[in-house]
Amino acid sequence: MQKNISHLGMLVCLGSMLTGCGIYTKYQQPEVQTDGLFGTLPEAVSNYISI
């Protein structure tokens, strides 16, 4: 039981050290260019005969 408490204490200290010094930061989504990713769209079909 004493071993579990000491492991829990070390885990709490390690977690507070990681968040306190800025190693662990929030995720920032990168800018991604998606223009023209799938090419150009086909022209609209005016009637069913041209299909």
Contacts of 51 (CB under 8 A, 6+ apart): 45
Read out DSSP for 4-48?
A: HHHHHHHHHHHHHHHHHTTSS----PPP---TTTT-PPPPPP--S
pTM for this entry:
0.36
pLDDT attached to residue 22: 62
Gap between the Cα atoms of 49 and 51, Å rounded: 5
Instruction: Write the Ramachandran bin of 31: left for phi over 0, alpha for psi from -120 to 50, otherwise beta.
Output: beta
Digit-by-digit pLDDT tens for the chain (51 residues) are: 677 888 899 898 888 777 666 666 778 899 988 887 777 766 766 666 655
